[in-house]
Amino acid sequence: MIDLREVIDGAVERARPRADLLGAELTVARPDDPVPVVADPESLGRVLDDLLNNALTYTIRPPRLWIGMSAGSRRAIVRVEDNGVGISFEERERVFDRLYRVADPQIVVPGIGLGLYISRQLVESYGGTLAVESSTPGVGSIFALTLPLSRTVSAAELREAEAG
């Protein structure tokens, strides 16, 4: 079991140098209390790295990214929002297909179309979902990652364990 906040903090820390180089505004909103989920922190970190990297890559300048997290009674949700080029309605699901890349002659970015495919597979292996929540071409996108909360330990118990 891990605290999802720590995974988000790590991904933001890894993205910060590139964001600073691009002059990006990077905003993070997350709960103060621990958000326990069952997942491998390294692979989940890679998923968030991929979402943040895509947001910085496919963003209109100056980039603005917002990473928000909330937790309900059963699930945690992480949203990554950007002011990027957006994705057409028809391509919202296809971006998760293996080897699929959005065809846009204005954007030349290296890659083979595996990042979002692998990210979705990893998230689903933890009982979660990864989807394009909304996207408007020329305005930006919101990707949403959901994970089930761990039912074995309460947030108060996790705080106590962290304290020591």
Tens of pLDDT, residues 106-161: 666 666 678 899 999 999 999 999 999 999 888 999 999 999 999 765 566 656 65
For the chain, the residue count is 164
Q: Say how many domains are in the chain.
A: 1
Instruction: For Cα atoms 79, 83, 85, give the angle at the middle one, nearest 5 degrees.
Output: 110
Rg (CA), the chain: 16
**Residue 82: closest CA among 26, 152, 42:** 26
Rounded distance between C-alpha atoms, residue 40 and residue 10, angstroms: 13
Task: Tell me the average pLDDT across 43-57.
Answer: 95
pTM of the model: 0.86
**Would you say 9 and 46 are in contact if contact means Cβ atoms under 8 Å apart?**
no
Three-state SS string over the chain comes to CEEHHHHHHHHHHHHHHHHHHCCCEEEEECCCCCCEECCCHHHHHHHHHHHHHHHHHCECCCCEEEEEEEECCCEEEEEEEECECCCCHHHCCHHHCCCCCCCCCCCCCCCCCCHHHHHHHHHHHCCCEEEEEEEECCCEEEEEEEEEECCCCCHHHHHHHHHC
Q: Which domain holds residue 46?
A: 2-163
pLDDT for the residue 88? 86
Here the tokens at position 151 are 């039912």
pLDDT for the residue 157? 60
Here the tokens at position 103 are 């065809």
Unique residue bearing structure tokens 């009982």: 127
pLDDT for the residue 87? 84
Any idea what the CATH number is for the domain that residue 152 is in? 3.30.565.10
